[in-house]
Amino acid sequence: MAATTPATPPPGAPGGRPEPSPPTAPRATGGENPLLHAAKLVREAVPPLHPGGRPIIAAVVAAAGAVRLLTGRGTGAGLLATAATAAFFREPRRVPPPRPGAVLAPADGTVALISEVVPPAELDLPREPVTRISVFLSVLDVHVQRIPMHGRIRSVEYRPGAFLSADLDKASEDNERNALVLETQTGHLVGVVQIAGLLARRIRCDVRAGDEVAAGETYGLIRFGSRVDTYLPPGVAPEVSVGQRTIGGETVLADLAVTKDGP
């Protein structure tokens, strides 16, 4: 009698070989493509550029490309110069604090001077001493300027001048500068002056008299080292100190409700 071969149990049956599992698809991150998500994170981390810097960045790129074509060298230096120039014209996003009476810093930098002075004639403010807060911007700081409070631009006036070191007190009157007066929603007048420094050779102001503006909104740019003065309304006390770092559009320089005689 011929021997019989035992039947092999079908896959998945008791005693049979396990049925292979179908290949699984890569797990999506919150339903979003991982590469697109990574690109989004990078885009959010890199601040946008101020439009005033684009022609200069393009010129640096063109110069670096010309050097590369003529000499076959300089790629690294060209990339470094382009990155440094782009970093100078960065315009990071800022979130103003929810304080209706807050006078915000118009620029990133260091508080260099706090003094009681009569405002310059171009501001057309009352000729009485008020607190002036001077913020010095190094070449490493963000160089865009921001509106300190909600309100309306009352006046804008440009004055040519010298290019002394911006940390000197007399730079407020001798250097090239652009002054604006902001009338706040409460009727207060705040003066802001962009002042050129040793390396600065171009002041840009994008607002005009009559414009309605919002706190923290970018309104101007000074190229390569400068200073920005803020003239507070009479009697308002500063809330910063000399040597303190400021963040434009976020640091509170003063509160209109806090006077030198107390709230």
Strands 151-159 and 177-184: antiparallel
Q: Where are the alpha helices (DSSP H) in 89-211?
A: 171-174
* Separation between Cα atoms, residue 55 and residue 47, nearest integer Å: 17
Which one of the listed residues 134, 155, 172, 226 is annotated catalytic? Answer: 226
Q: Is 226 a catalytic residue?
A: yes
- How far the first Cα of the chain sits from its last, in Å, is 114
Cα distances from 224 to residues 135, 196, 215, 251, in angstroms, run 14, 9, 24, 22
On the CB side of 71, how many CA atoms lie within 13 Å of its CA? 11
* Separation between Cα atoms, residue 248 and residue 106, nearest integer Å: 5
- Known catalytic residues? 226
